[in-house]
Structure 1
Amino acid sequence: MGISLDGLASGLDTTALIGSIMQSEALPQTQLKYKSEDIQSVVSALQGLNGKVAALATQGTAAAKPGALDLYKATTSSDKVVATTTAVAKAGSIDFQVTKLAQTQVTVTPKVNAVTGWPYTTMTINSGGKDYVIEPLGSNLDDVVTAVNATGAGVTASKVAVGGGDFRIQFTATKSGEAGEFTITDPAGAFTDVTAPQDAEIVLWPTSSLVDKTPIKSSTNTFTDLLPGVSITAKEVTTVPVTLNVVRDDAGITKLASELVSGVNGIFSFVASRTAVSTTTNTSGTSTSAGIFAGDSLVRSVNQSILSAASLPVGNPATSPSEIGISITKTGTMEFDGTKFAAALAKDPAGTAAKVQEIAGRIASAATAASDKYTGTLTTKITGQQSEVRDLADRISDWDARLASRKATLQRTYSGLETALSGMKAQQSWLTAQLSGLSGSTSA
């Protein structure tokens, strides 16, 4: 690395002088950097918008699917039974009574002393119609537990301390109900069933004397599709009949419509916050600056297309969405009136749901056109802006090399000038000394 000795001959601060020249010559690069930063800010804002629009597209697509608003909820007349629904549930009602709960088989060995150990060399577990021969590595109870758990016999073994240095091995079925039933045989045959395997059972129409009372069984406490798309899970045996009711889920439908409007307004809010003009006041005065989306025709177009999708007439014959509680406000956002929507849903459930789905489909189309990862207008603009940022980065890099070369040239030039000036001063000093010598000789 070279050593800079500023102005040894000239007295000039050459480092500062070169720095000033380089600062001036770097102005084009500085402008490129500012431009790159501005474009990157735009890209960041567009990516944020694109993400929200893509989420709205997904939301609208889901709401527009056939049956998306065919929502039903199930309730029972007893807190001892819980009902759940799937997308294929329909309205209906049925009475039943829970007569048994499912049980998982638990079997235990006689007491075994830890010192004496396991007294048998083999035992056989029959599970699912198949025999599994257990041959522990030794008489240690842990060996027995390990051997049982390694067989895959549908039984889990555990060592349980029962006091006085004695233990029992507990065998538990991995499946509940009769499906998990197993038997264990050994030379002594002294195993005890603590809990017998048992299926849960319910009886349909328990108060009727005209139908068969043969119970319906389940290896768990859950009875799947008791009604289409409706399952029940029993927590206790019931002593009186339980009524299962399945009705349209108006609250769920209302929530879906409300969230769709909220999703649309989320886009509008995002755009508005980045379009608004802000005013700043300080000691230098007052200045105003427009938001990053101000004047962006594409963003304005996306905003308008989503607004149109949500607010244009819907149905056949076409009517305003405001008739079902979805309306446009004076500020250009959407508003959801839950009371009005509930009234429309009660009056015409199918028609109201169809209108919501039509709106959802239009919103999905508009949002997808903007945010599609291949052809979306926002996506395309982001890709173009990113390409420009990369191009600017290359140009900035080229300027780095150009400026470095220019600085090196200036340093060589000023170094040469200092050297030349230093030589001239040395020569001047020599001449002065010679002339002084001549003058002294003359005087003598």
Structure 2
Amino acid sequence: MASMGVDGMISGLNTTDLINQLMQAEAVPQTLLKTKQTSTTTLVTALQALNAKVASLGDAAATATKPASWQAYKATASASSVTATTTATALPSELTLKVDTLASNQVSLLNFGGSGSPFTGTPPTFTIRTNADAVAASERKDVTVTAKSGSVEDVVKAINETTAAGVKAVAVKVDGAYKIQLTGSETGSTKDFAVFAGAAETLTSGSTAATMSELRKASDAQITLWPGSTAKVEVKSATNTFANVLDGVSFTVSALPKTDDPPVTLTVARDDAAVKKLASGLVGALGVVFSEISSRTATTTKTNEDGRTVVTGGMFSGDSAVRALNQQLQTAASHPVDGTSPAQVGIVIGRDGTFTFDDAKFTAALAADPAKVQKVVAGLAERVADVAKKTSDKVDGSLTLKITNQQGTVKDLGDQIANWDLRLASRRAGLQKTYSALEVSLSGLKSQSSWLAGQLASLPTYS
């Protein structure tokens, strides 16, 4: 705020301070607008935080209403060498099995030089054939590999860079001569491979593969179902994972049993922990919303300097929309479902209106009547989800609309504050002009006074 060039030199007044004091009085309405804009912005932030928590509650409630959420099953095996996972289509079941073999990939050694080496020509061109033992040519896959030079380093590099071949190579030096160890990337009996000299298009039915030393054969994993019975069945898999034996269950074998080990029992049963998480998660989400409302509704008490006690309400105190939301959620979560109180299945409401999850009571109820527990919790969740949707819907939720309205108020207050900036700037300019004119007028009067005093002093005096 720039001061005037001449600040009361004639009048003796501190015109800058005087104008500033006048402007403070003029700016009182704008200050009130700024205060209201700040409090409204704070309210919007608080409402947005509450709305996000209500939306999260709605998601938890919607999940608990879905029948698929309650069809949670967990598979366990009697041996640590078998691990299993389930999907939504799993059903209670029990299966005995014995692990016969594990899936393996092929590992072979190939001489780099000498008679029969496929790495000939300049540069060396050779073919890697996968599923080499397949009778039908259509089932085999030939991939041509060309090295930059005949060095062992370039041959190994060419093989490793040709990912389509499905083989990795490493050079091993033994007694001054190189051998190339080839390792298949995948397991299974159809993932065996052979190496031929020349490009794939030059191969014929009479082409002979290079001689390799087989360190490990490509093979399938195999299990026997119902071992020891007349109904036993052998099942194979290209990997150690069996995904199509039981609906909704995939299990992986990782070790062969010892001679005296009993068959492995795979059991699929209801996953009580997952079901419990549905209910406890719903109660937890309710608690978050109620806690948010309570913390922003609570009053604060303080004593003024004059000794009077002043009680101040929280930000949500008196807010009808928040109060209605609190009441609706209380009703939705506490009323019976088909005559059964939520408290009977472990969802308990306290005297202070808070909800808690009774783990022991829920577990006992689930063991006694799972269908009843599902009906009560899902029914309660459906009511809660309905309240949450009506409140936090992105388009027409009551809380969403209130937030939009308050944001409009903030914007309108901002426009009024900006208009006051222009009005106050104009008023200040007017005051500065007025006081400048006053100083000029007083300066002229002072000059005139001095002239008259001089004239009077020059008049003759008579005795």
TM-score, length basis structure 1: 0.90
Could you say which residue in structure 2 is the equivalent of 1:249?
A: 271
Could you say which residue in structure 2 is the equivalent of 1:130?
A: 141
Is the partner of 1:274 in helix, strand or coil? helix
Could you say which residue in structure 2 is the equivalent of 1:70?
A: 71
Q: Report the alpha carbon displacement of residue 282 of structure 1 after superposing the two structures with TM.
A: 6.9
- Whole-Å Cα distance in 2 between the matches of residues 343 and 177 of structure 1? 47
Distance of aligned partners of 1:408 and 1:190 in 2 relative to their CA distance in 1, 3 Å threshold = farther
Of residues 358-367 and 335-344 in structure 1, the stretch that sits farther from structure 2 once superposed is 335-344
Q: Percent identity?
A: 44
Whether the aligned pair in 2 keeps the contact of 1:154 and 1:175 (CA below 8 Å) is no
- Whole-Å Cα distance in 2 between the matches of residues 103 and 3 of structure 1? 93
Deviations 1:183-204 (A, max 9, x none): 2223792544433212211110
Could you say which residue in structure 2 is the equivalent of 1:355?
A: 376
Letter matched to residue 5 of structure 2: S
Is the partner of 1:6 in helix, strand or coil? coil
Deviations 1:201-225 (A, max 9, x none): 11101121x1244x21122211114
- Whole-Å Cα distance in 1 between the matches of residues 271 and 183 of structure 2? 41
- Whole-Å Cα distance in 2 between the matches of residues 127 and 418 of structure 1? 104
Counterpart of 1:211 (choices 219, 231, 243) is 231
Could you say which residue in structure 1 is the equivalent of 2:29?
A: 28
Whether the aligned pair in 1 keeps the contact of 2:169 and 2:181 (CA below 8 Å) is yes
Distance of aligned partners of 1:339 and 1:138 in 2 relative to their CA distance in 1, 3 Å threshold = same
Whether the aligned pair in 2 keeps the contact of 1:64 and 1:361 (CA below 8 Å) is yes
Letter matched to residue 376 of structure 2: K
Distance of aligned partners of 1:413 and 1:156 in 2 relative to their CA distance in 1, 3 Å threshold = farther
- Whole-Å Cα distance in 1 between the matches of residues 150 and 25 of structure 2? 91
Q: Report the alpha carbon displacement of residue 353 of structure 1 after superposing the two structures with TM.
A: 1.3
Whether the aligned pair in 1 keeps the contact of 2:347 and 2:358 (CA below 8 Å) is yes
Whether the aligned pair in 1 keeps the contact of 2:297 and 2:314 (CA below 8 Å) is yes
Could you say which residue in structure 1 is the equivalent of 2:253?
A: 234
Q: Report the alpha carbon displacement of residue 174 of structure 1 after superposing the two structures with TM.
A: 3.1
Deviations 1:246-285 (A, max 9, x none): 1122232122211211111111111011101112357565
Distance of aligned partners of 1:236 and 1:230 in 2 relative to their CA distance in 1, 3 Å threshold = same
Whether the aligned pair in 2 keeps the contact of 1:71 and 1:253 (CA below 8 Å) is yes
Alpha carbon RMSD of aligned pairs, Å? 2.5
> 1:90-239 to 2 correspondence within 5 Å?
90-110=91-111, 120=121, 121-127=124-130, 129-160=140-171, 162=173, 169-186=180-197, 189-208=210-229, 210-213=230-233, 215-239=234-258
Is the partner of 2:68 in helix, strand or coil? coil
Letter matched to residue 59 of structure 2: T
Distance of aligned partners of 1:13 and 1:142 in 2 relative to their CA distance in 1, 3 Å threshold = farther
- Whole-Å Cα distance in 1 between the matches of residues 424 and 109 of structure 2? 87
- Whole-Å Cα distance in 1 between the matches of residues 37 and 303 of structure 2? 27
- Whole-Å Cα distance in 2 between the matches of residues 105 and 4 of structure 1? 96
Could you say which residue in structure 2 is the equivalent of 1:277?
A: 299
Could you say which residue in structure 2 is the equivalent of 1:115?
A: none
Deviations 1:70-123 (A, max 9, x none): 2222111101111211122111101001111121223444368xxxxx755111
Could you say which residue in structure 1 is the equivalent of 2:327?
A: 304
Whether the aligned pair in 1 keeps the contact of 2:160 and 2:167 (CA below 8 Å) is yes
Distance of aligned partners of 1:175 and 1:154 in 2 relative to their CA distance in 1, 3 Å threshold = farther
**Any gaps of 5 or more consecutive residues in structure 2?**
114-118, 132-139, 199-208
Is the partner of 2:210 in helix, strand or coil? coil
**Any gaps of 5 or more consecutive residues in structure 1?**
113-117
Letter matched to residue 263 of structure 1: A
Is the partner of 1:68 in helix, strand or coil? helix
Q: Report the alpha carbon displacement of residue 311 of structure 1 after superposing the two structures with TM.
A: 1.0
Of residues 382-391 and 192-201 in structure 1, the stretch that sits farther from structure 2 once superposed is 192-201
Whether the aligned pair in 1 keeps the contact of 2:120 and 2:197 (CA below 8 Å) is no
Letter matched to residue 93 of structure 1: E
Letter matched to residue 177 of structure 1: G
Is the partner of 1:67 in helix, strand or coil? helix
Distance of aligned partners of 1:283 and 1:132 in 2 relative to their CA distance in 1, 3 Å threshold = same
- Whole-Å Cα distance in 1 between the matches of residues 325 and 129 of structure 2? 68
Of residues 411-420 and 119-128 in structure 1, the stretch that sits farther from structure 2 once superposed is 119-128
Could you say which residue in structure 1 is the equivalent of 2:201?
A: none
Distance of aligned partners of 1:13 and 1:160 in 2 relative to their CA distance in 1, 3 Å threshold = farther
Q: Report the alpha carbon displacement of residue 320 of structure 1 after superposing the two structures with TM.
A: 1.6
Q: Report the alpha carbon displacement of residue 50 of structure 1 after superposing the two structures with TM.
A: 0.3
The yes-or-no answer on 1:341 pairing with 2:362 is yes
Could you say which residue in structure 1 is the equivalent of 2:62?
A: 61
Q: Report the alpha carbon displacement of residue 230 of structure 1 after superposing the two structures with TM.
A: 1.5
Counterpart of 2:433 (choices 408, 412, 416) is 412
Whether the aligned pair in 2 keeps the contact of 1:154 and 1:174 (CA below 8 Å) is no
Distance of aligned partners of 1:218 and 1:280 in 2 relative to their CA distance in 1, 3 Å threshold = farther
- Whole-Å Cα distance in 2 between the matches of residues 14 and 80 of structure 1? 92
Distance of aligned partners of 1:10 and 1:170 in 2 relative to their CA distance in 1, 3 Å threshold = farther
Q: Report the alpha carbon displacement of residue 13 of structure 1 after superposing the two structures with TM.
A: 1.3
Deviations 1:218-240 (A, max 9, x none): 22211114322121111111233
